[in-house]
């Protein structure tokens, strides 16, 4: 089995690769690649992203990878991480950027002046550990407790247009979607590679997943 990790210059690639290698109990060949043909031929695809969405979209197009992402997300187990997940939606408020349009919905910025239940000001970006509440069953949640903590760094969040696209939510201070997916696609706003045991469990589940729900 070949797992392609897409390299378009905008992901936390070293940490992503290490996290996959740490749970690779199925003997997968893990390929870090910027070659669209390698991505298309792979059995599974991991699509990281880090930084501003306009920059990520520009680099993705510059590497000729946009169509390879679309084709992979339509045909095989596919895991998006952080901006790699945001890019799957239609549009982002960050730089008024068109996304890949695989899923209907927007990427929106957290409002300014947010406060928690005690009236303390919440900073943007949302940074640090936060609980993730599963809203729909999914094979990748095996061994992951509902309400488990994952590591976030983001100023923008998913706003999917269809409720059934949201697989899990977090709070800052209101609930927002932090995992989206459908069929063979699973995509997280948080960084699995920085989320210790829980993040590793998600990736372990992905390596064993056949893409069906």
Q: DSSP letters along 146-160, please?
A: TTEEEEEEESEEEEE
Give yes or no: 191 in active site: yes
Give yes or no: 82 in active site: yes
Please tell me which residue in 94, 148, 169, 193 is annotated as part of the active site.
Answer: 193
Please tell me which residue in 59, 63, 82, 154 is annotated as part of the active site.
Answer: 82
Distance, CA of 116 to CA of 134 (rounded, Å): 22
Contact present, 85 and 158 (Cβ < 8 Å): yes
Please tell me which residue in 63, 126, 154, 191 is annotated as part of the active site.
Answer: 191
Distance, CA of 8 to CA of 168 (rounded, Å): 27
DSSP state of 48: -
Give yes or no: 154 in active site: no
Q: Which two tokens stand for residue 159?
A: 């706003």
Q: Which two tokens stand for residue 153?
A: 């760094």
- Residues serving a catalytic function are 82, 191, 193
């Amino acid at each position: 089995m070949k797992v392609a990790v897409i390299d378009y210059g905008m992901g936390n690639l070293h940490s992503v690769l290490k996290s996959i290698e740490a749970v690779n109990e199925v003997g997968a060949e893990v390929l870090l690649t910027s070659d669209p043909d390698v991505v298309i031929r792979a059995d599974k695809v991991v699509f990281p992203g880090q930084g501003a969405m306009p920059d990520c979209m520009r680099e993705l197009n510059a590497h000729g990878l946009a169509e390879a992402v679309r084709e992979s997300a339509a045909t095989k187990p596919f895991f998006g991480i952080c901006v790699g997940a945001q890019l799957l939606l239609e549009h982002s408020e960050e730089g008024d950027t068109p996304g890949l349009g695989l899923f209907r919905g927007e990427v929106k910025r957290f409002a300014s002046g947010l406060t928690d239940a005690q009236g303390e000001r919440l900073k943007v970006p949302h940074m640090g550990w936060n609980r993730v509440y599963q809203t729909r069953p999914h094979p990748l949640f095996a061994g992951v407790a509902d309400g488990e903590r994952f590591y976030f760094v983001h100023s923008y969040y998913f706003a999917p247009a269809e409720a059934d696209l949201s697989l899990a939510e977090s709070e800052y201070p209101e609930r927002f979607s932090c995992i989206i997916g459908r069929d063979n696609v699973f995509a997280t706003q948080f960084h699995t590679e920085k989320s210790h045991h829980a993040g590793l469990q998600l990736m372990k589940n992905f390596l064993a997943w056949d893409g069906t729900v």
